[in-house]
Amino acid sequence: MISKPKRKRFKYIYGPVSSWRLGRSLGIDPISSNKKTCTFNCIYCQVGRATKFSKRRKIYVKTEKIIDEIKSLPHLKIDYITFSGRGEPTLAKNLGALIKAIKKLRKEKIAVLTNSSLMNRQDVRNELALADFVVAKIDAPSDRLFNLIDKPMRDIKFGSIIEGIKKFRRIYAGRLGLQIMFIDLNKKITIEWASIIEEIKPDEVQINTPTRPNKTAPLSKKEIVNIKNQFLKISSFRGNLVLVYDSCRKAVSPISTKHALKKRGRGIERL
Ligand code: SF4
């Protein structure tokens, strides 16, 4: 019988978690601050309400500290090493350095989950391009809905985000996913949605809804399937459509503490 690895007080690494889109995913939080640090304050945010707004890239955790934790990992079955956590991972100025250093040590693929807000910056695009899988989120097809749902910092603009993702697509040969968090406000599939996705040309679109506890209710499975069908009717996009309710979760044995998972909004799934 294989014994479960002991849980350890990792500060920057958490999981592995069973991810609906990444299989067994070991999380890295390159921000790791006590307060969520982000360019947005989404109404469905699952990592806490208190937000430290910032769009300044800086080194939050030294590269060596995270790499030391990577080196101390026990034997683990994981599919992806994923940059995410308590805030927006592209705020970490050493994101590129971290991806390069981890690639020298580990054979697993590297994913980054980003809210896309800094993808209009060339340095961010270049660093994201080092990852194998980038999941960029767009929650709205218009400036109005974007402001209502994602509640961005004042000088973060919807149009500039879309342009940033398009520029990234042009240079990126890896797998690009667009994640859309559907809630009541944005569930109507309009022609604007279809054209944004067709212009970006992602490899896949992830149709999500907030399944972990927060103050915004998730959509039902029926509503999510309806979104997919509406989308297929009006869009010529024929890449992968991945639905949160269709996911098949893999078994995992986390090596980080429950506190470390909870801090990143994990381990308390509604589904
Ligand atoms: S982008 Fe992510 S971390 Fe930031 S507020 Fe939105 S859901 Fe929360």
Q: What is the average pLDDT across 55-68?
A: 97
Residue 41 beta carbon below 6 angstroms from any ligand 1 atom? yes
Q: Assess whether the C-beta atom of 47 lies below 6 angstroms from ligand 1.
A: yes
Q: What is the pLDDT of residue 213?
A: 77
Could you identify the atom of ligand 1 that is nearest to the CA of residue 51? Answer: 5
pLDDT at 267: 52
pLDDT at 257 over 90: no
3-state secondary structure labels for all residues of 145-213: HHHHHHCCCCCCCHHHHHHHHHHHHHHCCCEEEEEEECCHHHCCCCHHHHHHHHHHCCCEEEEECCCCC
Q: Which of 60-64, 168-172, 246-250 has the lowest mean pLDDT?
A: 246-250
At a CB cut-off of 8 Å and minimum separation 6, what does 63 contact? Answer: 94, 97, 98, 101
Range of 10-14, 41-45, 162-166 with top mean pLDDT: 162-166
Evaluate: CB of 42 within 6 angstroms of ligand 1.
yes
Q: Which amino acid is at 162?
A: I
Task: Tell how far the Cα of 158 is from the centroid of ligand 1, in angstroms.
Answer: 15
Q: Are strands 13-19 and 23-28 parallel, antiparallel or unpaired?
A: antiparallel
Judge whether residue 46 has pLDDT over 60.
yes
- pLDDT of the residue at 4: 59
> Does residue 251 carry a pLDDT above 90?
no
pLDDT of 250 reads 82
Q: Ligand 1 atom 8: the closest Cα is on which residue?
A: 45
d(CA 172, CA 134): 9
Strands 51-53 and 36-38: parallel
Over residues 160-179, mean pLDDT: 98
Mean pLDDT for the stretch of residues 185-211: 94
Residue 50 has pLDDT above 90, yes or no: no
Give the pLDDT score at 138.
97
From the centroid of its chain, how far is CA 133? 10
Find the helix or strand (DSSP H, E) in which 226 lies: helix 221-234
- How far, in Å, from the CA of 45 to the mean position of ligand 1? 5
CA of 42 relative to ligand 1 center, distance in Å: 5
Ligand 1 mutation target, pool 38, 91, 158, most atoms within 8 A of CB: 38
Of 215 and 201, which is predicted with more confidence? 201
Distance in angstroms (rounded) separating the CA atoms of residues 53 and 35: 10
How far apart are the CA of 229 and the centre of ligand 1, in A? 27
Is residue 270's pLDDT more than 50? no
Least confident of 11-15, 63-67, 168-172, 264-268: 264-268
Q: How many angstroms is it from 75 CA to the middle of ligand 1?
A: 31
Using CA positions, which residue lies closest to atom 5 of ligand 1? 41
φ/ψ (deg, to 5) at 267: 85, 5
Asked if pLDDT for residue 102 goes beyond 80, the answer is yes
Q: Measured from the CB, is residue 162 less than 6 Å from ligand 1? A: no
pLDDT of residue 170: 97
Confidence at 265, pLDDT banded by 50, 70, 90: low
| Least confident among 56-65, 206-215, 221-230 | 206-215
Is CATH 3.20.20.70 the classification given to domain 13-263? Answer: yes
Residue 84 Cβ inside 6 Å of ligand 1? The answer reads no
State whether the beta carbon of 14 lies less than 6 angstroms from ligand 1: no
Least confident interval from 33-47, 114-128, 148-162: 33-47
> What does the pLDDT read at residue 149?
97
Instruction: Share the mean pLDDT of the chain.
Output: 91
| Nearest-CA residue for atom 7 of ligand 1 | 45
| Concatenated DSSP letters of 108-120 | SEEEEEE-STTTT
Instruction: Between 30 and 247, name the one with better pLDDT.
Output: 30
